[in-house]
């Protein structure tokens, strides 16, 4: 769903995965891609709640995997461009 730009559907899949796989070693990636999905929906709608959800997800990525540099980059880009 993410690759086909069906971000609302992707968010549902990512949320379900997060809910049922709290001990997964790849949980940070799920938060990352859900955050990207929220950001894309924000760009299409301008809904401020969506960008806040993207920020929360990216902050979760950093907590779970502090060395995952893409999360820092994306978060910085959001702060520079969206807020």
DSSP string spanning 44-73?
Answer: HH--HHHHHHHHHHHHHHHHH-TT-HHHHH
pLDDT given at position 83: 61
pLDDT given at position 4: 82
pLDDT given at position 82: 66
Gap between the Cα atoms of 54 and 49, Å rounded: 9
pLDDT given at position 3: 81
68, 28 contact by CB (below 8 A): yes
Phi first, then psi, for residue 23 (nearest 5°) are -100, 10
Gap between the Cα atoms of 53 and 55, Å rounded: 5
pLDDT given at position 46: 87
**pLDDT < 70 regions, the chain:** 82-83
- CB neighbours of 65 closer than 8 A, spacing ≥ 6? 28, 71
pLDDT given at position 81: 85
């Amino acid at each position: 769903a993410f690759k086909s730009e069906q971000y609302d559907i992707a968010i549902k899949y990512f949320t379900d995965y997060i809910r049922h796989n709290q001990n997964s070693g790849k949980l940070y990636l799920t938060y990352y891609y859900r955050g990207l999905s929220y950001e894309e929906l924000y760009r299409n709608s301008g809904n401020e709640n969506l960008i806040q959800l993207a920020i929360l997800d990216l902050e979760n990525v950093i907590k779970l995997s502090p060395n995952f540099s893409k999360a820092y980059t994306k978060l910085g880009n959001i702060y520079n461009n969206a807020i």
